[in-house]
Amino acid sequence: MQSRQPLLTVQGVTLQYKTPHHLITATYRVSFDVMQGDRFILLGPSGCGKSTLQKAVGGYMTPTEGEMRLKGRKITQPGPDRMMVFQEFDQLLPWKTVKQNVAFALHASKRMSRREAEEKAMEYVSKVGLASFADSHPHMLSGGMKQRVAIARGMAMEPDILLMDEPFAALDALTRRKMQDELLKLWDETKFTVLFVTHSIAEAIKIGNRILLLSPHPGRVKAELNSTTDAQQAIELEQHIHQMLFSHEPEEVEHA
């Protein structure tokens, strides 16, 4: 039975970078809940703190204000319950094959035997359509194929939540669309939970069921929206989001 408790709660989270001369506030008091099986999107312009939020959920940054909880446990460090997939094509180990890249983390962190890890790795390599490249090295693969391996590696760990930071942003338009379709197909099969970062409104609507819209730097929650699979509604939603992102509302003024 699906729990009605959120899987991930982000409560009033402010994230800052301290540099020798500056204190940079990346996000300001951001709150949202991700439910089991959500395809939850963080959407906003470049620099609004999407990657910073992902890093904090990943356990690589500590909020200066607020807290994040996964299954009720406060996030304080990275763990195999949160696997990350990045934009860069060089996130694989170049000296390992496709299968070894996927099996490596399984064997290292899950105390699986090498053989069990390889079996599970093959299962996920097949899921992303790369069974015939299992023994190839990353340099033999296209960008899209490398991203498939990174996704297979993340999914094979069967994390509570998959963290994807603009995973398709460096791909050409056709490959990108294909990868979006494939991700949705994988979701239909396994109903994993994903926190997906993008600055593309169209991608957010296509991939997500929920969309958190962040304002420009520092990122604050501007709106939380349901996505749609209806083509006409998607066009309207895209226009609506576009207006919200690019409207310059005056700051709230307190009356004397």
Asked if 52 is part of the footprint of ligand ADP (rule: CB under 6 A), the reply reads: yes
If one asks whether residue 217 binds ligand ADP (CB under 6 A), the answer comes out as yes
Q: How far is the CB of 13 from ligand ADP (least distance, A)?
A: 12
Q: Are 87 and 170 in contact (CB under 8 A)?
A: yes
Residue 51 binds to Mg ion (criterion: CB under 5 A): yes
Could you say whether residue 2 binds ligand ADP (CB under 6 A)? no
- C-beta separation of 11 from 197 below 8 A: no
DSSP state of 59: T
- Interacting stretch for Mg ion, rule CB under 5 A, among 50-58, 117-125, 137-145, 212-220? 50-58
Identify which of residues 49 and 159 has a Cβ nearer to ligand ADP in the complex: 49
Report the residue closest to Mg ion, judged by CB.
51
For residues 97-136, which are near ligand ADP according to CB under 6 A? Answer: none
Complex with ligand ADP: residue 145 or 211, whichever CB lies closer: 211
Which span sits near ligand ADP by CB under 6 A: 44-52, 57-65, 174-182, 220-228? 44-52
Contact between 17 and ligand ADP (CB under 6 A)? yes
Q: Could you write out the three-class secondary structure of the chain?
A: CCCCCCCEEEEEEEEEEECCCCEEEEEEEEEEEECCCCEEEEECCCCCCHHHHHHHHHCCCCCCEEEEEECCEECCCCCCCEEEECCCCCCCCCCCCHHHHHHHHHHHHCCCCHHHHHHHHHHHHHHCCCHHHCCCCHHHCCHHHHHHHHHHHHHHCCCCEEEEECCCCCCCHHHHHHHHHHHHHHHHHHCCCEEEEECCHHHHHHHCCEEEEECCCCECEEEEEECCCCHHHHHHHHHHHHHHHHCCCCCCCCCC
51 binds ligand ADP (CB under 6 A): yes
Peptide bond into 138 cis (omega under 30): no
CB of 98 to Mg ion, least distance (A): 26
**Binder of residue 9, out of Mg ion, ligand ADP, none (CB less than 5 to 8 A by kind):** none
**Shortest reach from residue 41's CB to Mg ion, in Å:** 13
Nearest CB to ligand ADP, comparing residues 86 and 133: 86
Total residues at interface with ligand ADP (CB under 6 A) = 13
Whole-number minimum distance, CB 45 to ligand ADP, in Å?
A: 7
Burial 99-114 (b: 16+ CB within 10 A, else e): bbbbbbbbbeeeebee
Which CB sits closer to ligand ADP, 60 or 187? 60
Query: Which of 26, 161 has the CB closer to ligand ADP?
Result: 26
The reply on whether position 47 binds ligand ADP by CB under 6 A is: yes
Contact positions vs ligand ADP (CB under 6 A)? 17, 19, 24, 26, 44, 46-52, 217
